[in-house]
A = this chain, B = another copy of it.
Amino acid sequence: MTTSKPSTRDTILDAAETVVAREGSGRLTIDAVAAEAAVSKGGVLYHFPNKIALLTGMVERMMAEIGAEIAAAEARATADGSPVLPLVIQDMFNRSGTHDSVSMALLAASAEHPELLDPAREFLSSTFQRLADATPDPIAAQILLLAMDGLKLSILLGFNHVPDHQLQPIRDRVLSLAHEIYA
């Protein structure tokens, strides 16, 4: 099992995300992360020699998580011959709600060292591009993926400009639209 013990390194990254989610990216200090992770400041600096390394760690873990998730969806899709896009979108819905590492890492990095997002840019754009291009209607697929981004943004910044009771219908509609693309 890969989820046996959360290594201190991961604990620290989790703590960093929690701080960003709760207090804003501007309050992401090494001290705050240490306190949140119940580790000393020296302990944080042992794993991440400086703050840039910490931010880099957040961005890298985010990319790894997205990559794994999409790869898993693709594997499932090819396994039972179902279309990929709905699977990916469903994953996104399931993950939303919990403060997710994607948004937090983006916010944190963009606040202080936007250039750290350069590798993420390439990775994300090519990943989603590939995903959309694999469907019969790439433009429609992109629009749905953008809608998912928007939903994430609104949750991330705390506006549910989508009220809770509309979340379920939106989810159903987006999924059915995703299926229609393959019709």
Chain A residues within 8 Å of B, Cβ to Cβ = 23-27, 106-107, 110-114, 117, 120-121, 124-125, 128-129, 138-140, 142-154, 157-163, 166, 169-170, 173-174, 177
Contact = CB atoms under 8 A, between A and B. Distances in A.
Number of copies: 2
A155 to B, nearest CB: 11
Main DSSP-derived SS at the A contact region? helix
Contact of A169 (B26, B120, B139, B146): B139
Given A121-B159, A128-B161, A146-B151, 8 more contacts: A24-B111, A25-B25, A25-B111, A125-B159, A125-B160, A146-B148, A148-B150, A152-B153
A123 to B, nearest CB: 10
14 contacts: A24-B110, A24-B113, A25-B110, A25-B111, A26-B112, A111-B111, A117-B157, A117-B159, A121-B158, A138-B166, A142-B162, A143-B147, A149-B150, A153-B153
Contact of A143 (B25, B26, B173): B173
A23 B114 contact: yes
B129 A142 contact: no
Which of A24, A112, A128, A173 counts the most B-chain CB atoms under 10 A from its CB?
Answer: A24
